[in-house]
Structure 1
Amino acid sequence: MRMSLNYVTDAIAGQMPVVDPSLPAVVLGGEPAVSWTELRARELRYARALQRAGIRKGDRVGILLRNCVDYVALYLAVGRVGGIAVRLNWRLTGPELQFALSDSGASLLLFDAEFAVTIEGIRDRIAVTTYVSRPSTGAAPDWATPLPVFAAQESDATGFPEVSADDPVSLMYSSGTTGRPKGVLFSHGNALWIGAVQAQRWRIDERTVAQTSGPLFHAGGFEVLLLPALLAHGTAVTFPSGNFTCERFLEVARHNGTTSMLLYPFMLADLLQRDAVETLVPATLRRIVTGGDVVMPWIYDELERRLPGVELVQSYSLTEGGAVSTSLEFAMARGRESSIGRPQAMTEVKVIRPDGTPTGAGEVGEICVRSGGMSIGYWNLPDATKATFVDGWCHSGDLGSVDEDGFLTIAGRAKDMYRSGGENVYPAEVEMVLTGHDDVADAAVIGVPDPKYVETGAAIIVPAEGHTVDPEQVRRWLTERLAKYKVPKHFHFVSDLPRNASGKVLKSVLRKTYGGKRND
C-alpha cells in the first residue's frame, strides 16, 4: 500500500479491511454520520472528476469551503490525484483570496456558493480556469459547475498516479512579519506523521470519536485530533462553521458520544463557568485538548473538581512546525500549569541563544522544533525557507525557556504575532493595510488583553497632516480588506510613534501605555 493519505480510505477496501466499512467515518454536527463506505465512494468520485477537469500531479486546487463532510472527501481526493490542496480561510476578503490564489497558481477552485460574490470580484485577476460550486446556501453561479454535476459519475480506485510520502499535498497560507502571507507546504508523509504521533500519544483508535471546534482550513481544526482519528479509523466529528456557542458544541458532543475534543482556552473557560457543567458534557468524554494560549491555573482546579474523569492536555506548535510539537498532559500539569509541556514522540525541541548555542535551564531563547511533521518549506520563497528551516530545524520565532526537568514555557513571541480567539494575527499585515488609508500617516498595531478572545488588536495611529481620522470609517475600511478577526478593536491617536535610533517602532513602549486599556 502506498504511504500517502490514500491509506485513509484504501485501508477499508480489499481482503483485509482494518475496520468495518459500515461504521461512521465523518459527522458534521448533529447530522447523520457518513460511513467509511460512503466516504471512500465520495473521495473516488471527486478524484475522478478532478482528473477529468485536467488536474495532474503537482497542480494546485483551491478549497474555499465551510466545515462539511465534503471538505474531508475533497481534500483526500486532491491528494489521490497527486494535487496540492490550497486550504483557504473563508473569512478572507477578496484581495486576500486573490493573493493566495495567484501566489499558489491554483487552476481549479472548489467553493461554497455563498462566496460567489467575493470570487466574482477577483475572477479577472486570478489564473483559475475551472470553478466548482458546492450549493450549500444558494445556487451555483452560471460561471461555475455545481459539485453534484461535476462529480456525478461513480469511480473505482484504478487509474490514479503513484503518490509517495514525499509528494506535497497541502498548502496553508500563514500571515507573516513582512505583511505578505506565506504558503506553508506539507507532504503526504508530514500528514501521516502528524496523525500517527497524536494517535500514539493520546491512544486514538477505532473507538475514538474526535470532535474539533475550529475550521478545517486550519491545522488546529483538521490536523489536531481529526486527522489521527481518520488514520486510526475512528470517527471524526467536525462542527459547523460560524455562530459557535458552547451549548451547540456540547449538544453535538452528546449526540455523537464524543470521547476527545478540541476547545481553545477561552472556550474552555466559558464551559467551566457554567452551572451544571457535569450534565452538559457527554459521559463518554475522556480528553480535552487545548492550545494557542496558556491555560490559567483555575481551569485545572475547576476541571478536576467538576469533571474528574476528563483529562486536559495543553499543546503547542506553530503551523510550520507540524500541528503539535509539545504537550502537557494532566498528570504532569500540577505545579507546572504555565508550561506547555514536553516534546511529542519522535519530536525534538530546543531553545537557543541568538548565536545558535543551547540555553541553560530557565534561560530565555528562541524555540526550535525538528520532527517528521515539520513543513517542507514555503511556497516559492526560498530565502524565507532558508531563514526559518535551518539545518533541519524549524525556527519558530517564539521565545521560551526549558526548566531542569525538560518542561518548556513560553516567554513571548519574537515575531510580534498575537492570537485573537485562536487565530494568529500578524501586526505587520494589518499595519500595511492601515497605512494605505489616505487619513493615516503612520500606524502600529499591538495585541491587548480581551476578556473573551484573550487578545485583540489595538491600533495606534498618526493622522496624516491636515486630516482627521474617523475610527468607525477606518474600521469599515479595514473590514473590506482584512478578515474580521484581524481588524483592531481599539483605536488610539498620537502625534508620532516612539522609535529607537534605527527607526524601529518601540512596541514595548506602546504595550506599556496601551496594553491595559480596553476602551477607546
Structure 2
Amino acid sequence: YSYGELAADVYRMANFLSTDLGIKRGDRVAVLSFNRVEYIKLFFALSRLGAILVPLNFRLAPAEFIYFLKDAAPKAIFFDKAHQESVDGFKGKTELNHYICFDEDDTVGRALPKVWSALSAEAPSEVEIGPDDPQLIIYTSGTTGLPKGVILTHGMLTWNAINTNLGWDLRSEDKTILHAAMFYTAGWNVYTLPIFYSRGVNILIQSFEADLILDLIKREGVTVFFGVPTMFQMLMDSPKFASTDFSSIRFMVSGGAPLGQDILETFKTQKSIRIWEGYGLTEAGPNNFIANGKLGTVGHPMPHVDAKIVDPEDNEVPTGEEGEILLRGPHICAGYWHKPEETANAFVDGWFKTGDFGRIDSDGHFSIVGRLKDMIISGGANIYPAEIERAIETHSSVTGVAVIGVPDPKWGEVGKAIVELNPGSTLSFEELRDFLSDRLGKFKIPKYMVTVGELPRTVASGKVQKFILKDKHGRADND
C-alpha cells in the first residue's frame, strides 16, 4: 500500500460507516479480529468521523466479551471469519445494531467485501475533532473490581507519536513489523502510529512468528523492532537466528517485562545490537522514556514527558531513593470509560499515578524497580490476580484463593493458585482448569495449583498475606 492507496480505502470505509451504518461523532465500534489491513482502515475511518474504535481481546473466553460490549455500548462490531462463532454466541445478549464480517462470509453478519467495490473513495465531509476527543477505548483489567476502558484521545495518540519521533529519531525510511495484537496499546502506539507519523513503512502480519520475523528482517530490511522478552527469546531459539543478517536494524526496543541479561548479551555479542528497554502503560504513552540510559535503566523521559518519583504522601524523594513513578504530559489518557471514581483516583494534581516503583540516579536516568500493583506479567501480557481469584472463588468447593506469579523460563512469569477448600471438599488441578476454561482466557488460567488448609490473613482486615505465600509457594510447581 502507498499512503495514497490507503487514504482512498480509508475514505471508502468512512463512507460505509457513515452512510450504511449511520456511525457519527462519539459512536463506538468494536472489533474482534486478528491483525489485518482492514483493522487499520477501520481505525483511521472512525478517527476521520470522530467515532471511537473499541478493540476486543480475542484471547478472552466468550462470556467475557459481554461485559465489554455492554460497557462500551458499540453500535457495530467488525470481525473476521476466525471469530464469527464467538460473535454469533453473543448475538441477542447485547444491543449491537450491525454485524460486519471482514471476510466474504455473511453467515453471521454482512460481508464487507461484497459491498466494497461499490463504495465511494471520495473524501467524507470534515468533522470537527479536538485533542480531547476519544479515539480508542482499550480495556485493561484492574487489580480490583471490573476491567476498565482506558480512553485514548486524539491528542494523546498524536503526542505519543511526536515524542516517539523526537526521542527515538524515527525517519521516513524506517521500517517496522506490526506483529503485536491490536487490542493492546503496543499494537498501535509503540511503533505503528509513530511510524505513520514519520511516513515510514509498517509491515503488517497476523501475529508473531519467530521464523517469519527473521525472514522479514532479512528480506525487507527492517530498521526498528519492538518485542517483549518472550519474543526475543523465541527469536534466539529459532534455527534461523544465527544466519539472519541484522545489519539493517538501527535499534530494538523491549517492553512489558524486565529483559533478562542472557538476552541482552546474546543480541549484543552475536548481532551487535543493544536492545533498549522501555516503560509504558495503556494509560500513559506507552513510549515514556528514551531508553538512552545505562544498562538496567529506561533513560531520560521523552521530550514532552514529565516524570518524578514520590513517597506515599506524594512528596518527591531524593535522588537514588525509591518511590512511585508519576507521569504528566499531553500523552496521558483521559481516564476510564464510565468510571469517574477510578479516574479521579488515578491522578493527583494532574500527575498520573502509575502504581509502579522506580528511582532516578544522579544523571537523571530512571530505573523500574518493582510493581506496586499486584500484577503478573506473562509474555508481556498483564494478568491481574484479582480477576482470576474472583473466577476461582465461584467454584462450589473453594473457600478462598490467592494467585501469585512464579518464574517461568519462557514467559517470565505464570500464575500459581493457592486454594483453600471447603471442609470435606476436593479439587484437582485438572478440574480447576476445566472449570475456568469458559470463564477466563487460556493465558490467564494458572499453570500451577496447590491446596492449603488455611490461607494466611491479617487479623484486622482479613486480607490474604501474599508475601507469606510467595515465600512458601513461590516456585514453579504444584507444592
1:431-442 map, 5 Å: 431-442=389-400
SS in 2 for 1:320: coil
| Equivalent residue number for residue 147 of structure 1 | 112
Q: 1:440·1:461 contact (CA, 8 Å) conserved in 2? A: yes
The Cα of 1:422 is off from its aligned counterpart by: 0.8
State yes or no: 1:492 paired with 2:459.
no
Percent identical pairs in the alignment equals 34
Q: 2:307·2:326 contact (CA, 8 Å) conserved in 1? A: yes
State yes or no: 1:299 paired with 2:263.
yes
SS in 1 for 2:124: coil
The Cα of 1:281 is off from its aligned counterpart by: 4.0
What TM-score do you get using the length of structure 1 for normalisation? 0.88
State yes or no: 1:176 paired with 2:142.
yes
Report the AA paired with residue 424 of structure 1. Answer: N
The Cα of 1:149 is off from its aligned counterpart by: 3.1
| Equivalent residue number for residue 4 of structure 2 | 37
Moved more, 405-414 or 229-238: 405-414
Moved more, 427-436 or 401-410: 401-410
**Inter-CA distance 462–281: structure 2 relative to 1 (3 Å threshold):** farther
The Cα of 1:430 is off from its aligned counterpart by: 0.7
| Equivalent residue number for residue 111 of structure 1 | 79
Q: 1:173·1:181 contact (CA, 8 Å) conserved in 2? A: yes
Report the AA paired with residue 148 of structure 1. Answer: P
Report the AA paired with residue 199 of structure 1. Answer: N
Give the Cα separation in 2 of the matches to 1:484 and 1:101: 20
Give the Cα separation in 2 of the matches to 1:212 and 1:158: 28
**Inter-CA distance 474–289: structure 2 relative to 1 (3 Å threshold):** same
The Cα of 1:498 is off from its aligned counterpart by: 0.7
The Cα of 1:287 is off from its aligned counterpart by: 1.2
SS in 2 for 1:412: strand
Q: 2:416·2:446 contact (CA, 8 Å) conserved in 1? A: yes
Give the Cα separation in 1 of the matches to 2:56 and 2:349: 30
Q: 1:113·1:140 contact (CA, 8 Å) conserved in 2? A: no
The Cα of 1:410 is off from its aligned counterpart by: 2.0
| Equivalent residues, number | 476
Give the Cα separation in 2 of the matches to 1:59 and 1:260: 35
1:450 to 408, 421, 425: 408
**Inter-CA distance 469–51: structure 2 relative to 1 (3 Å threshold):** same
| CA deviation vs aligned residue, 1:345-379 (integer Å, no higher than 9, x gap) | 11111111111101122322111111211101100
The Cα of 1:340 is off from its aligned counterpart by: 2.5
Give the Cα separation in 2 of the matches to 1:121 and 1:271: 37
1:28-427 map, 5 Å: 34-52=1-19, 53-135=21-103, 139-141=105-107, 143-151=108-116, 152-241=118-207, 244-272=208-236, 277=241, 279-308=243-272, 310-329=273-292, 332-333=293-294, 337-427=295-385
| CA deviation vs aligned residue, 1:134-180 (integer Å, no higher than 9, x gap) | 127xx332x41111235441231132422222211100000001241
Report the AA paired with residue 195 of structure 1. Answer: A
Q: 2:63·2:438 contact (CA, 8 Å) conserved in 1? A: no
Q: 2:24·2:49 contact (CA, 8 Å) conserved in 1? A: yes
The Cα of 1:228 is off from its aligned counterpart by: 0.8
What TM-score do you get using the length of structure 2 for normalisation? 0.95
| Equivalent residue number for residue 26 of structure 1 | none
The Cα of 1:99 is off from its aligned counterpart by: 0.7
Give the Cα separation in 2 of the matches to 1:200 and 1:140: 45
The Cα of 1:295 is off from its aligned counterpart by: 2.0
The Cα of 1:302 is off from its aligned counterpart by: 2.6
Give the Cα separation in 2 of the matches to 1:276 and 1:148: 37
Q: Which 5+ residue runs of structure 2 have no aligned equivalent?
A: none
Report the AA paired with residue 147 of structure 2. Answer: P
Give the Cα separation in 2 of the matches to 1:365 and 1:409: 11
Q: 2:52·2:134 contact (CA, 8 Å) conserved in 1? A: yes
Q: CA RMSD in A?
A: 1.7
Give the Cα separation in 1 of the matches to 2:299 and 2:473: 31
| CA deviation vs aligned residue, 1:320-340 (integer Å, no higher than 9, x gap) | 1121112423xx33xxx3223
The Cα of 1:311 is off from its aligned counterpart by: 4.2
Q: Which 5+ residue runs of structure 1 have no aligned equivalent?
A: 1-33
Report the AA paired with residue 257 of structure 1. Answer: G
The Cα of 1:274 is off from its aligned counterpart by: 5.8
Q: 1:388·1:395 contact (CA, 8 Å) conserved in 2? A: yes
| CA deviation vs aligned residue, 1:370-416 (integer Å, no higher than 9, x gap) | 12111011001000000002211110111122222222222221110
Report the AA paired with residue 397 of structure 1. Answer: G
Q: 2:167·2:290 contact (CA, 8 Å) conserved in 1? A: no
Q: 2:290·2:299 contact (CA, 8 Å) conserved in 1? A: yes
SS in 1 for 2:402: strand
**Inter-CA distance 281–510: structure 2 relative to 1 (3 Å threshold):** farther
The Cα of 1:45 is off from its aligned counterpart by: 0.5
**Inter-CA distance 117–276: structure 2 relative to 1 (3 Å threshold):** closer
| CA deviation vs aligned residue, 1:91-112 (integer Å, no higher than 9, x gap) | 1122211111110111110111
| Equivalent residue number for residue 514 of structure 1 | 473
Give the Cα separation in 2 of the matches to 1:275 and 1:81: 46
